[in-house]
Amino acid sequence: MSQKERKRRSRDDDDGGSRREDRASKRSRTIQSTPSLDRNLDYLIPLFTCAKASTDLDSDSEDIYKYYKKEIPSAGEYRTKFRIWSQLVSTFTFNSKDPRTLVMIFGSSLNGLARKGSDLDISIYCPSFNNQLNLLSTLRKWLRVNWAEGSVRDVLLIPAKVPILKFTNVSHSGERTEVDISCNDPTGIPWAANYGINDAKDMTLSSFTLLLMLIHYLQIGVSPPVLPVVQDIGPSYYRDKLSVVDIFNLPYKTEPDVNFTSSNSMNCFDFTRDVGSIRTGKRLDSRQCQEWARHSRGIPRQWEAYVLMEEPFNRSNSARSTVNREKFDSILVALKEGHRLLVRENASLAKFLSSN
């Protein structure tokens, strides 16, 4: 080998080493947590792990509270989730160079209703990307380049109406956390999962739709109503700033001696026509929703699905994926069985959750 050739190879090796060091440096910038994040988590995590309740609960409420307390994730699990979120913030802002970018946690990991082992839901808002699928595809590449080798596994990009990037984060200790990322959309239910009706991509019900159905039932399905129509109670009930003391000392509580009874209005719900609406606290007619969709340049055919639940912010059908009759029949079976257990037999929460 000539001296010239040896010099060229040596120069190439140096360049390759520099590139590897640059990639390693970039990874380290992304995955390291910061002291300020740890200080904030020390204050924030107790809000999620401290389960307080009234001392005069009825038996059903006591069962719900015990189940909730048993299923609360540990402080370590919450800390892992928030660090993953911090890593995603660093990855996206570093690579996108768009100061308007927002990377937000939503769902159970933020509202305090997460269970042990539940996934982490992330929504990304980045105006510089017009195509959601392109944004998530690009993020997938960034994760492979910027994150430590082996920390991102089982990556799956689902090209649905609202695309989702799913992956499993594996920590140095081997702890696994499932992450679901959606984008430009700022807006685990055991019972439904047991019946196989909690998966929108499988033409059944999303967790969001199930929660809308529950809220709607508590608005008009029981007497007296458990929940109000939020839009009707006025801005005086809202405050921009709450202290920790305020959170644990709410100015109201459920009276355990109130006898709630099931209302006929929900027993007569007509799935061929009725639309559940928590925005109005009423049942709407699907023809009205179709007409509104036409005038607002929406998709009228979404109101031809088997289950019709109005999304309260954009007024679309949150259950538009329920277009398969066999899947719809399985939803009806689950609802009827749940009604039998809870209303007719007054079964315990544990029996209800383990049914099927």
> Cα–Cα distance between 253 and 7 in angstroms, integer?
79
Residue 83, domain member (yes or no): yes
> Dihedral sign, CA of 65, 121, 320, 202?
negative
Q: Are 147 and 27 in contact (CB under 8 A)?
A: yes
Exposure string of 189-219, with b = 16+ CB inside 10 Å and e = fewer, is bebbeebebbebeebbbbbebbbbbebbbeb
| Each residue's pLDDT tens digit, 67-83 | 888 999 999 999 999 99
Over 90: is that where the pLDDT of 107 sits? no
Q: Are the C-beta atoms of residues 275 and 310 closer than 8 Å to each other?
A: yes
Residue 44 contacts residue 86 (beta carbons within 8 Å)? no
Edge to edge, what strands does the sheet with 102-106 contain?
A: 102-106, 120-125, 176-183, 164-170, 152-158
| pLDDT confidence of residue 185 | 54
Whether 145 is covered by a domain: the verdict is yes
**Residue 263 burial class via C-beta count within 10 angstroms: exposed 0-12, middle 13-18, buried 19 and up:** middle
- What digits encode the pLDDT tens for the residues 222-262? 888 888 887 776 555 555 555 545 544 544 455 545 555 55
At 161, which CATH number? 3.30.460.10
Q: Which amino acid is at 315?
A: R
The more confident residue out of 243 and 295 is 295
Rounded distance between C-alpha atoms, residue 177 and residue 83, angstroms = 11
In the predicted structure, residue 287 carries a pLDDT above the cut 60: yes
Does some domain include residue 95?
yes
Q: Give the pLDDT confidence of 253-265 residue by residue, as tens digits.
A: 555 455 555 555 5
Residue 1 pLDDT exceeds 60: no
Residue 27 confidence class, pLDDT cut points 50, 70, 90:
very low
Query: 84-88, 231-235, 349-353: which has the minimum mean pLDDT?
Result: 231-235
Mean pLDDT taken over the chain:
80
- The winner for highest mean pLDDT among 54-63, 110-119, 177-186, 314-323 is 314-323
- Residue 104 falls inside a structural domain: yes
- In a domain, residue 239? The reply is no
Contact, 309 vs 318, CB < 8 A?
yes
pLDDT of res. 250:
47
Of 46-60, 105-119, 229-243, 334-348, the poorest mean pLDDT is in: 229-243
- Report the alpha-carbon distance of residue 51 to residue 64 in Å, rounded: 12
Q: Which helix (H) or strand (E) holds 81?
A: helix 75-96
With cut-offs at 50, 70 and 90, classify the pLDDT of residue 55: confident
Provide the 10 A C-beta neighbour count for residue 289.
Answer: 21
Query: Is 168 part of any domain?
Result: yes
pLDDT bucket at 7, cuts 50 / 70 / 90? low
pLDDT higher than 80, residue 161: no
Question: What DSSP line would sit under 11-62, residue for residue?
Answer: HHHHHHHHHHHHHHHHHHHHH---HHHHHHHHHHHHHHH-----SS--HHHH
211 is written with which tokens?
């929660």
pLDDT at 13 > cutoff 80 = no
In this structure, is residue 354 part of a structural domain?
Answer: no
Residue 280 is predicted with a pLDDT of 93
> What backbone phi and psi angles, to 5 degrees, belong to 180?
-115, 125
Instruction: Tell me the per-residue pLDDT of 172-210, one tens digit each, with 9 for 90 and over.
Output: 888 899 999 998 654 446 778 788 888 777 889 988 899
Q: Respond yes or no on whether the N-terminal peptide bond of residue 99 is cis (omega within 30° of 0).
A: no
For residue 275, the SS3 value is strand
- Determine the Cα–Cα distance for residues 93 and 213; give it in Å rounded to an integer: 37
Tell me the pTM: 0.56
The pLDDT of residue 279 is above 60: yes
pLDDT at residue 17 in the model: 46
Most confident stretch, 39-43, 57-61, 65-69: 65-69
Which of 31-35, 121-125, 165-169, 227-231 has maximum average pLDDT? 165-169
Residue 170 lies in a domain: yes
Which pLDDT does position 291 carry in this prediction?
Answer: 95
Q: Please check the confidence at residue 37 and state whether its pLDDT lies above 70.
A: no
Specify the pLDDT at position 80. 92
Range of the domain at 84: 35-50+61-185
Paired tokens of 72: 């609360």
Overall domain count for the chain: 1
- State the Cα–Cα distance between residues 233 and 252, nearest whole angstrom: 15
For residue 304, what pLDDT is reported? 95
Q: How far is CA 132 from the centre of its chain?
A: 18
pLDDT tops 80 at residue 216: yes
The tokens for 84 are 């993953």
Which residues touch 96 (CB under 8 Å, ≥6 apart)? 126, 128, 129
pLDDT of 247 reads 47
CA distance 27 to 306: 47
